[in-house]
Amino acid sequence: MKKFIFFTPLIIIFLILSMLLFALLSQNIGNKKTINSVLLNKPIPTKTLLSLNLNKLIDLEMYSGSPFLVNFFSSWCEPCKLEASNLEKLSEKIPIIGISYKDQKEDTYLFLDKYGNPYDEISYDSDGNIAINWGVYGVPETFIINKNGIIILRHPGPITTNVLKNEIIPILDEINL
């Protein structure tokens, strides 16, 4: 028993070092700098949005029955420009609702003119409250919603070709698109 006490520091340190090694080797910890979404597998937090160009309401309930995407973007965001073409490709398979985050309307229009408009409908979030409601912490962020109105994927950051191929398409295939 007494001798065992002398081994306890070794055991404790060994456990700590193993944990650090694991953290270092795994791609998913710490350095990844993304925050997991707690809204996964929950229903969408907003049902109606104000439309950008016409003073009408976008009723997200109308989109239930089949899957759709929600994408937060802005004209001042560099990575948003990068994902524009991939969003264009996606928009052929699935409707995308765009939410312009903290932007001027004119700038949003210019952005869409320049980089293409993949959106079925566009809304705007001038004070950032819609973003907070969706647990968004930066732009761009994209959500995949299934036909029952449940969020099944949240991707922070641009939809790069890699992300498109390895994350988005598989999910869409799963829900049969």
3-state helix, strand, coil in the chain (%, to 5): 40, 20, 35
# residues near other proteins by CB under 8 A: 55
d(CA 59, CA 108) in angstroms, rounded, equals 21
For 40-108, the three-class secondary structure string (H helix, E strand, C coil) is CCCECCCCEEEECCCCCEEEHHHHCCCCEEEEEECCCCHHHHHHHHHHHHHHCCCCEEEEEECCCHHHH
Could you tell me which residues are beta bridge partners of residue 124? 100
User: Which residue of 43, 48, 61, 76 would you call a contact of other proteins, by CB under 8 A?
Assistant: 76
List the 121-125 sheet strands across, edge first.
121-125, 96-101, 68-73, 141-145, 151-156
Chain mean position to CA 114: 23
Residues in contact with other proteins, shown as a per-residue x/- string from 34 to 73 under the rule CB under 8 A? xxxxxx-----x----------------------------
Q: What is residue 150's DSSP assignment?
A: B
Q: Contact, 60 vs 48, CB < 8 A?
A: yes
Q: Judged by CB under 8 A, which stretch of 55-63, 106-114, 115-123, 129-137 contacts other proteins?
A: 129-137
Q: Which is nearer to other proteins, 19 or 110 (CB)?
A: 19
- Site pattern 140..159 for other proteins (x: CB under 8 A): x---------------xxx-
Cβ 151 to other proteins shortest distance, Å: 12
> CB of residue 126 vs other proteins: minimum separation in angstroms?
11
Stretch that binds other proteins, among 53-61, 105-113, 115-123, 126-134 (CB under 8 A): 126-134
- Tell me if 166 contacts other proteins by CB under 8 A: no
Binding site for other proteins (CB under 8 A): 1-3, 5-7, 9-10, 13-14, 16-17, 19-26, 28-39, 45, 76-79, 82, 102, 127-129, 131-135, 137-140, 156-158, 160
